[in-house]
Amino acid sequence: MSLFNQEESERMFRAMMGENARRAAGWVVIQDAGTTEDGRPIHCIVGVVVGDLRHEAGKGHTHEMVHGEVTIRPRAAYAGDKYRGHGAAAILTSDAYQPENWEKRLI
């Protein structure tokens, strides 16, 4: 049971994260993609998100690129090598969204 109704929850989310913040349910696959010159890790993120993430001015265009930060609040996390070398398109069109297709549950 939530303390807030949907509208109140959305207002609280925007107050905490900023007026342009968006959220939606989904899954992502995080793949190592090297490091920056100063040694910070770079990751390629491939995923499916269900919800309205688009900003009004971006609707009608095929793509929208957003600069900012990403926060992931996982309900579960898995690791494995089954999809290594298959590329982003294969991950998106495969059974990668099924937890049983990963070798190890992390959380």
**Torsional sign, CA 75, 80, 83, 84:** positive
Q: What is the predicted pLDDT for the residue at 103?
A: 96
The pTM of the full predicted model, rounded to 2 decimals, is 0.70
Q: What is the predicted pLDDT for the residue at 2?
A: 67
Q: Is 44 within the bounds of a domain?
A: yes
Name the residue among 84, 77, 83, 80 with its Cα closest to residue 102: 80
17: pLDDT strictly greater than 80: yes
Q: What is the mean pLDDT of residues 15-37?
A: 88
Q: Is 58 within the bounds of a domain?
A: yes
Q: What is the mean pLDDT of residues 29-39?
A: 92
CA distance linking residue 28 with residue 49, whole number of Å = 8
* Per-residue pLDDT reduced to its tens digit, 52-101: 888 888 888 988 888 888 778 888 999 999 988 888 888 888 888 899 99
pLDDT confidence band for 1 (50 / 70 / 90) = low
Instruction: Provide the residue range defining the domain that includes 77.
Output: 25-105
CA distance linking residue 37 with residue 34, whole number of Å = 10
Number of domains in the chain: 1
How many of the other CB atoms lie within 10 Å of CB of 96?
21
Write down the mean pLDDT value for the chain: 87
CA distance linking residue 30 with residue 26, whole number of Å = 13
Q: Is 74 within the bounds of a domain?
A: yes
CA distance linking residue 106 with residue 80, whole number of Å = 10
Length of the chain: 107
How far, in Å, are 17, 72, 80 from residue 11 at the CA level?
10, 19, 38
CA distance linking residue 60 with residue 103, whole number of Å = 39
Q: What percent of the chain has pLDDT over 70?
A: 98
